[in-house]
Structure 1
Amino acid sequence: MTVVLSPEIHDAVEFFKKNLGYSDKHLYLGLVQFDVMKDKNAEFAEVIYNFYKEKPEDFIAAFKHGYVVDRPIEFNEAIVRFYNGEKLRVLHKNSGVREIVWLDMKKYPFGFDMRTLDMWNWSEITANNE
Structure 2
Amino acid sequence: MPLRHDQTVSGISAYPLAVEIAKVGTYPALVKSGAGYFYDDVLEYRVWMHPERGASSLDEEGGDYFVAFAQHEKALAFSKASSGAEEPLVLVRQMEYIDESEDGVYEAAVGERLTEWRVEWLEGSRRAADSIEKFLRDHRK
Q: Give TM class, smaller chain.
A: under 0.3
Tell me the TM-score normalized by structure 2: 0.25
Tell me the TM-score normalized by structure 1: 0.26
